Amino acid sequence: MAEAPPIFTVGGYQVQLIDGMLNVSTLKECIFRVNLLACCGVKELHNIRYGLEQIGADGLIHQLAEMMYGKTRTHNCAFYLFTEVQPTSWNSGKYGVNLRDFILTNKLGTVIESDILKNPNSLNMLKVYLWQIDSDALKTFHGVKAAPMIAMPIPELPMLDGECPTISSAQCTPPRAT
């Protein structure tokens, strides 16, 4: 039998990584989650409507910052994507604009907004927001001291048929004789 993913407590909420998605919940209720995208530099905030209703923008941003900079460090990235269904739809609300306003008021980065378009899957009218995170400002807001930068060594890559697969041939090492 497979072992269940570990559960962490963040700001009084249970946090668990399940199938590549970070679920934040109070016992059985899902508040919001972070969806992983193919690019590690961009992630999606999902169900922010419910997160904002239950813990407010301040609580949501603090939980997100804890996920990014706390013990788990599971969702550090440069951009977060979030959406808002527009007033013509049954599940509409001002959750996207409210989160945008909170981010801008607290100077936590820049938010770019899309035009409103019809989602061909749900037929909802949808607006997309892209938050370019000011990492230093978010750490200050959350009360995290900036961690020192760690120098990552450049890996040596093997040569393929005498050709270096990278831009810099200084990174390549010739194949070892066996």
Angstrom distance (rounded) from CA 171 to CA 133: 32
**For residues 9-14, average pLDDT:** 49
Beta strands at 79-85 and 42-46: parallel, antiparallel or unpaired: parallel
Give tens-digit pLDDT for 158-173: 545 555 444 444 444 4
Per-residue pLDDT reduced to its tens digit, 102-155: 999 999 999 999 999 998 988 888 999 999 999 999 999 988 654 444 444 555
Q: Which phi and psi (to 5°) does residue 126 adopt?
A: -130, 140
Architecture of domain 7-150: 3-Layer(aba) Sandwich (3.40)
| 59 pLDDT more than 50 | yes
> What's the pLDDT at 124?
86
Query: Taking a C-beta distance cutoff of 8 angstroms, is the pair 79, 68 a contact?
Result: no
Residue with tokens 């994507």, as numbered in its chain: 81
Whether residue 22 has pLDDT greater than 70? no
Per DSSP, the residues of 19-53 read: TTEEEEEETTEEEEEEEE-SSTTEEEEE-HHHHHH
Question: Domain spans of the chain?
Answer: 7-150
